């Protein structure tokens, strides 16, 4: 009977669902990306802020834990005073808490940017995690559409700063009010229709996911998905569906002949496509009045959107970059006016060669109700949020992420354990010269140390054994050159004899020789 079976107490090493580790190469690239975004936000005058990873649940608003589902959507727990706390699920709710708490001390409008991980307790999917990073900019304390226009321009500038070429992205803009106006026009106004309005909004939000035929089913009786599951529809009748779809598509890229001088086209707003046709946000907006049936909210929406498009046009952001799109909906009971979505428009191929669309990498809008939860006076606010992880994934597909692995450290081999002091000193000399270097701190023999240096991606190793000591020299082995030469040799003893790609210098010349080698490698 052998008792070699692993003990039951041995813990299985595993990652919680929806979480992931970020390793060296990605972490470096991510840091660079965050720095780039910060620069743009700083340039717009936003101030950095950091808030904690969890808050009192009531401060976050929604998803108050109830007895049967205390963790629906958010991660919540009770502290020792039995107060409910929740992990933040975005950066906006904590901002609202911060502004309300420091209201008198903050300048209005208050402009802040913030990045950090947020947490959602929901089913993870491809590219969708339970911990992920957002990067937000918000302006609190003004209802001026100029603040919304600025969010769109900020989004465009940020994507370009990350080297996404103009034309490969679009900032889509709409307004919750304009949809409210249209729905009012088809008889869905009033509190008795709240549930149906939400169902309609949910459906419109899926316009980029499903073809028109499926959207129509969802607006009507319902739809059966490919696994056979049935989704109940919004229950609109044929006429209502037709008007709604006409509206959504009336605004879908409407081009004008250049020769028909259109009274509403503002200089800078037009976008001329490959065929020489011109599209204009403002002209498109003007054509929508039949759908709004002189609805008050509808008119207000058109006014706000016109302002946004005028300002962005005057600043040189045309319809090609910031574009009206009535299918943008976003958060249901959250946004109160203009809404934005940053979309990448280029196709990409994934590992298996399939074409994938990245779609939305950020979004935002006006949320006039959030801060006023804490105060009696109204506090209008607007903001934009970048989904950092998704954008990172898109950028690496685009090849905009520095793909080169950071060079590993120069490794000083430990040839004689009695003389670690000498090796440590050499490592320090190299570091003092600004070279990334380390003494091997394991216990293995020389061969294993060579393997270690190879795996670390070291440019070279430093060898100081008995032979070198006798001559007052050190040997520098160029691992990159060695790897190249190894391809030409098939016999091991020959490989060993040749000792390729190494040379010796006197001990005092170590740093200069390594520096020279690194320069040569950098050129090659």
Partner RNA sequence: GCCGCUGUAGCUCAGUUGGUUAGAGCACCAGAUUGUGGAUCUGGGGGUCGCCCGUUCGAGCCGGGCCAGCGGUACCA
- Would you give the binding string for RNA spanning residues 442-471, x where CB under 7 A is met? --xxxxx-xx-xx--------x-xxxxx--
Candidate segments 162-170, 311-319, 431-439, 490-498, binder of RNA by CB under 7 A = 490-498
Q: Identify which of residues 64 and 250 has a Cβ nearer to RNA in the complex.
A: 64
Q: Which of residues 149-208 bind RNA (CB under 7 A)?
A: 198-199, 202, 206
Return the residue of 42, 47, 58, 225 that touches RNA, per CB under 7 A: 225
**Interface with RNA, residue 475, by CB under 7 A:** yes
Candidate segments 76-84, 342-350, 417-425, 474-482, binder of RNA by CB under 7 A = 474-482
Return the residue of 39, 50, 58, 333 that touches RNA, per CB under 7 A: 333
Candidate segments 47-55, 172-180, 291-299, 328-336, binder of RNA by CB under 7 A = 328-336
Q: Which helix (H) or strand (E) holds 497?
A: helix 492-498
**Percentage helix, strand, coil, to 5, in the chain?**
40, 20, 40
**Interface with RNA, residue 343, by CB under 7 A:** no
Q: Identify which of residues 111 and 477 has a Cβ nearer to RNA in the complex.
A: 477
Q: Which of residues 281-320 bind RNA (CB under 7 A)?
A: none
The DSSP code sequence of 380-406 is -EEEEEEEHHHHHHHHHHHT-S--SPP
Return the residue of 30, 485, 505, 518 that touches RNA, per CB under 7 A: 485
**Interface with RNA, residue 490, by CB under 7 A:** yes
Q: What is the 3-state secondary structure (H, E, C) of 99-165?
A: HHHCCCCCCCCEEEEEEEEEECECCCECCECCEEEEEEEEEECCCCHHHHHHHHHHHHHHHHHCCCC
Q: Which two tokens stand for residue 259?
A: 């020769």
Q: What angle do CA 104, 106, 108 make, to 5 degrees?
A: 100
**Interface with RNA, residue 126, by CB under 7 A:** yes
Q: Which of residues 61-120 bind RNA (CB under 7 A)?
A: 62-63, 73-74, 89-90, 92-93, 120
Three-class secondary structure of residue 195 per DSSP: helix
**Interface with RNA, residue 332, by CB under 7 A:** yes
Q: Identify which of residues 140 and 162 has a Cβ nearer to RNA in the complex.
A: 140
Among the listed residues 96, 116, 111, 177, the one whose alpha carbon sits nearest the alpha carbon of residue 150? 111
Q: Identify which of residues 5 and 523 has a Cβ nearer to RNA in the complex.
A: 5
**Interface with RNA, residue 122, by CB under 7 A:** yes
Q: Which two tokens stand for residue 266?
A: 């503002």
Return the residue of 7, 67, 192, 227 that touches RNA, per CB under 7 A: 227
Candidate segments 177-185, 399-407, 498-506, 510-518, binder of RNA by CB under 7 A = 498-506
* Residues near RNA (CB under 7 A), total: 74
The DSSP code sequence of 240-280 is HHHHHHHHHHHTSS-EEETTS--TTPPTTT-EE-TTSEEE-
The answer to whether residues 370 and 61 touch, using CB atoms and an 8 Å cutoff, is yes
Return the residue of 71, 78, 231, 349 that touches RNA, per CB under 7 A: 231
Among the listed residues 389, 393, 387, the one whose alpha carbon sits nearest the alpha carbon of residue 351? 393
**Interface with RNA, residue 502, by CB under 7 A:** yes
Half-sphere CA count of 388, side-chain side, radius 13 A:
25
109: preceding bond cis by omega (within 30 degrees): yes
Q: How far is the CB of 56 from RNA (least distance, A)?
A: 15
Candidate segments 2-10, 42-50, 142-150, 320-328, binder of RNA by CB under 7 A = 2-10
Q: How far is the CB of 110 from RNA (least distance, A)?
A: 18
278-283 long-range CB contacts below 8 Å, 24 or more apart? 279/253, 279/254, 279/255, 279/319, 280/256, 280/319, 281/173, 281/305, 281/309, 281/313, 281/319, 281/322, 281/323, 281/324, 282/306, 282/309, 282/310, 282/313, 283/254, 283/256
**Interface with RNA, residue 124, by CB under 7 A:** yes
Q: Identify which of residues 136 and 306 has a Cβ nearer to RNA in the complex.
A: 136
Q: How far is the CB of 260 from RNA (least distance, A)?
A: 39
> 338 has which bridge partners?
175
The answer to whether residues 323 and 281 touch, using CB atoms and an 8 Å cutoff, is yes
Candidate segments 104-112, 122-130, 140-148, 387-395, binder of RNA by CB under 7 A = 122-130
Return the residue of 65, 326, 380, 482 that touches RNA, per CB under 7 A: 482
Return the residue of 480, 505, 509, 515 that touches RNA, per CB under 7 A: 480
Candidate segments 97-105, 183-191, 256-264, 496-504, binder of RNA by CB under 7 A = 496-504
CA distance 128 to 105: 38
């Amino acid at each position: 009977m052998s008792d070699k079976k692993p003990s039951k107490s041995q813990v299985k090493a595993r990652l919680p669902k929806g979480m992931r580790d970020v390793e060296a190469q990605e972490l470096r690239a991510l840091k660079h990306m965050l720095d780039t975004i910060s620069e743009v936000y700083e340039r717009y005058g936003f101030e950095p802020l950091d808030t904690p990873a969890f808050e009192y649940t009531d401060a976050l608003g929604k998803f108050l834990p109830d007895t049967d589902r205390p963790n629906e959507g958010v991660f919540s727990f009770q502290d020792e005073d039995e107060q409910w706390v929740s992990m933040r699920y975005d950066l906006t709710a904590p901002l609202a808490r911060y502004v309300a708490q420091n209201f008198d001390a903050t300048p209005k409008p208050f402009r802040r940017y913030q990045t950090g991980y947020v947490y959602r307790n929901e089913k993870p999917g491809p590219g969708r995690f339970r911990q992920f990073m957002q990067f937000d900019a918000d302006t609190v304390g003004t209802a001026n559409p100029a603040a919304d226009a600025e969010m769109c321009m900020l989004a465009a500038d940020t994507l370009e700063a990350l080297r996404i070429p103009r034309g490969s992205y679009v900032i889509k803009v709409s307004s919750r009010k304009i949809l409210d106006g249209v729905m009012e026009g088809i008889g869905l106004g009033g509190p008795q229709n709240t549930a149906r309005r939400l169902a309609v909004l949910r459906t419109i939000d899926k316009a980029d996911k499903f073809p028109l035929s499926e959207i129509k089913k969802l607006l009507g009786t319902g739809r059966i998905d490919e696994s056979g599951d049935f989704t109940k529809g919004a229950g609109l009748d044929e006429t209502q569906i037709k008007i709604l779809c006409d509206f959504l598509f009336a605004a879908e890229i409407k081009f004008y002949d250049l020769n028909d001088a259109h009274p509403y086209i503002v200089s800078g707003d037009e976008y001329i496509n490959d065929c020489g046709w011109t599209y204009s946000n403002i002209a498109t907006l003007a054509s929508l009045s039949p759908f709004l049936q002189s609805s008050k909210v509808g008119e207000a929406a058109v006014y706000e959107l016109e302002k946004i498009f005028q300002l962005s046009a005057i600043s040189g952001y045309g319809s090609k970059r910031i574009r009206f799109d009535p299918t943008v909906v976003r958060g249901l009971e959250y946004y109160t006016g203009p809404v934005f979505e940053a979309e990448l428009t280029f196709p990409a191929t994934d590992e298996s060669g399939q074409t994938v669309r990245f779609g939305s990498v950020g979004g935002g809008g006006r949320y006039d109700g959030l801060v006023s939860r804490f105060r009696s006076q109204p506090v209008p606010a607007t903001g934009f949020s970048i989904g950092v992880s998704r954008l990172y994934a898109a950028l690496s597909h685009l090849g905009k992420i520095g793909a080169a692995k950071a060079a590993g450290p120069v490794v000083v081999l430990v040839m004689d354990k009695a003389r670690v002091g000498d090796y440590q000193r050499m490592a320090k000399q190299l570091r003092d010269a600004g070279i990334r270097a380390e003494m091997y701190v394991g216990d293995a023999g020389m061969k294993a140390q060579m393997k270690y240096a190879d795996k670390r991606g070291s440019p070279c190793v430093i060898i100081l054994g008995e032979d070198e000591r006798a001559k007052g020299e050190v040997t520098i082995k160029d691992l990159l050159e060695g790897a190249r030469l190894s391809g030409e040799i098939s016999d091991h003893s020959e490989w060993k004899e040749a000792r390729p790609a190494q040379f010796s210098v006197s001990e005092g010349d170590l740093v200069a020789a390594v520096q020279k080698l690194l320069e040569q490698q950098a050129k090659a």
